[in-house]
Amino acid sequence: MDPLAPGKTLGILGGGQLGRLIAEAAKSLGYRTAALDSSPSAPALQVVDKPFVGAVDDAAAALKLATASDLVTLEWELIPVKVLEVVAAARPLFPAPSVLGLIQDRLTQKNFLRKQGFPQTPYGEAATAAGWKYPVILKRRSHGYDGKGQCRLASEADAPKASEVLKAPCVWEKLVDFKAEISVILARGRDGATAVYPVAENVHRNGILHATRAPARLPRDVEGKAVALAVEIAGALGHVGVMAVEMFLLHDESLLVNEIAPRVHNSGHYTLGGCAVSQFEQHVRAVCGLPLGRTELLEGRAAMVNLLGDLWEKGEPDWAPLRAIPGATLHLYGKSGARPGRKMGHYTVVGAAAETEFDRADKRLLQLRG
C-alpha cells in the first residue's frame, strides 16, 4: 500500500484530546482531517476539517466517517471490534481490528501477554473469590480506565468493598509493591520498523496519571529491557501506530507489564515539544506509511503535568506562575465542563527546569488553583 498522499483525508474514530492532537499533527503534514464523536463540542471536532457527530460504537456513524476519509485511525481502544471491521472493510484502518480485539478485554490482554511469556503480576478471572493472592486490585475487564472500575482489597475481610465493582466481569491482580511506574511509548510502522521514545517515569494519583518525567531514572540495562519488552509486544500484536506499554519497576529492578494502550498515550504527552517528532506526528507517520521520525529529547529532559477539572473549582486557574517557568508550555483541550478528575489540559516543561517541576507538581497545582 502506498503512503497516504498529502491532501488526502485522515479520519479519526473518537474526538477527545488525543484525537485533537493527532489531527493537529496530521494537518501540519498536509493532510485533511475528519473525526467522529458523540459531542459536537468534543476537542477534536473543534479542529478537524470534517467533523462528524455520532457514537463511535455505532457502525453506521463510523462508516460515514470512513467514507469521508481515505484512511482511518483511532484515539480510543474500546470501540467494538464489529464496528472496526465495518470501517476496515471500507477503508484502510490502522491499527487493525484484530489488535484491538486482543486488548479490549483485560483478561484477554493478560492471557495474550502470558501466552507470549511477558512478565506480569499474578492475576485471574474474578468470577469467584477463590485463588486470589491478597492484597489484590480488582479491575473491570472492559471500560475501566483512569482508575475507574477498580477496587483494592487488603485481605478477604475487605470483600464487601468489592460488591459494586464486581457487578461487571473483573480480573483480580496481586497488588504490586513497586519502586516506580514507567511507560514505553513507541511507534511501529506498516513495514514493522519501530521508533522508541526515551522511557517515561510516571506518578499516578487515584489511578489517574498525575505527572511524567523523561528520561526515567533507570539503570541502562533496565531501560534496555523495558524497551525490548515493548518492542516485542508491539511485534507480537502486529500493531501499526503509536502504542504505550505501562510497566512496574520492582525494588529488585525487575519489570512487570501492567497494561498496553494501542494508541497515543497521556504518558507520551511530554514528546510534544520535548522531542524532535511528537508521539502524535509519529502516529500519523506510522499509519500513513511515512518514514518514522526522530525520538530523542531535544533538551535532554522533559516533564508533563496533567491539569484535571479539580483545578477549576474556583474558576479559571491563574496561569501566570506557569508562564514564568522557563521552557514551560500550556496545552488546553477546549473542553467546557470542568469536572473533578476530567482531563482539561496539561503542561510540559523541557530542559533543566523539568526535573524540579516533576518533583513539585503537587505544589504547582495548588499555586495555579489560586
In Å, how far are 14, 52, 144 from 84, measured between CA atoms? 12, 16, 20
User: Could you give the residue ranges of the DSSP H alpha helices within 257-338?
Assistant: 271-274, 279-288, 320-323
204 belongs to the binding site for ligand AMP (CB under 6 A): yes
Span near ligand AMP by CB under 6 A; candidates 1-9, 30-38, 137-145, 234-242: 137-145
24, 70, 75, 173: which one contacts ligand AMP (CB under 6 A)?
Answer: 173
CB of 85 or CB of 125, closer to ligand AMP: 125
- Number of residues lying near ligand AMP (CB under 6 A): 14
- List of E strands, the chain: 9-13, 32-37, 50-53, 71-74, 123-125, 136-140, 150-153, 170-174, 178-188, 194-196, 200-205, 208-214, 241-250, 255-261, 302-308, 328-332, 343-350
User: Considering the complex, what minimum distance in angstroms separates the CB of residue 151 from ligand AMP?
Assistant: 11
- In angstroms, what is the minimal distance from the CB of 294 to ligand AMP? 28
Minimal distance, residue 34 CB to ligand AMP, in Å: 30
Residues in contact with 167: Cβ distance below 8 Å, sequence separation at least 6, in sequence order:
none
Can the peptide bond before residue 321 be classed as cis, meaning omega within 30 degrees of 0? no
Contact between 77 and ligand AMP (CB under 6 A)? no
Cβ nearer to ligand AMP, comparing 37 with 246: 246
Candidate residues 29, 59, 176, 236; the one interacting with ligand AMP per rule CB under 6 A? 176
**Residues from 253 through 312 that contact ligand AMP (CB under 6 A):** 258-259
Q: Which is nearer to ligand AMP, 135 or 334 (CB)?
A: 135
Is-contact 247 182, C-beta < 8 A? yes
Applying CB under 6 A, among 105, 201, 246, 357 the residue interacting with ligand AMP is 246
Binding residue (CB under 6 A) for ligand AMP from 175, 180, 330, 338: 175
- In the complex with ligand AMP, the residue whose CB is nearer, 169 or 207, is 207
Q: How far is the CB of 100 from ligand AMP (least distance, A)?
A: 17
Tell me the closest approach of the beta carbon of residue 121 to ligand AMP, in angstroms.
5
3-class DSSP assignment, residue 262: coil
* Per CB under 6 A, 147 contacts ligand AMP: yes
* Cβ 204 to ligand AMP shortest distance, Å: 4
Question: Under the criterion CB under 6 A, does residue 137 sit at the interface with ligand AMP?
Answer: yes
Pairing of strands 241-250, 255-261: antiparallel
C-alpha cell at 89: 472493510
Is residue 180 within 8 Å of residue 322, measured between CB atoms?
Answer: no
Please state the closest distance from residue 170 (CB atom) to ligand AMP, in A: 12
Q: How far apart are CA 287 and CA 240, in angstroms?
A: 6
DSSP 199: P
Near ligand AMP by CB under 6 A: residue from 73, 121, 267, 295: 121
| Distances from the Cα of 140 to the Cα of 32, 97, 147, 342, angstroms | 37, 21, 10, 20
Half-sphere exposure of residue 217, counting CA atoms within 13 Å on the CB side? 8
Residues belonging to the chain: 370
Query: Footprint of ligand AMP on this chain (CB under 6 A)?
Result: 121, 137, 139, 145, 147, 173, 175-176, 181, 204, 207, 246, 258-259
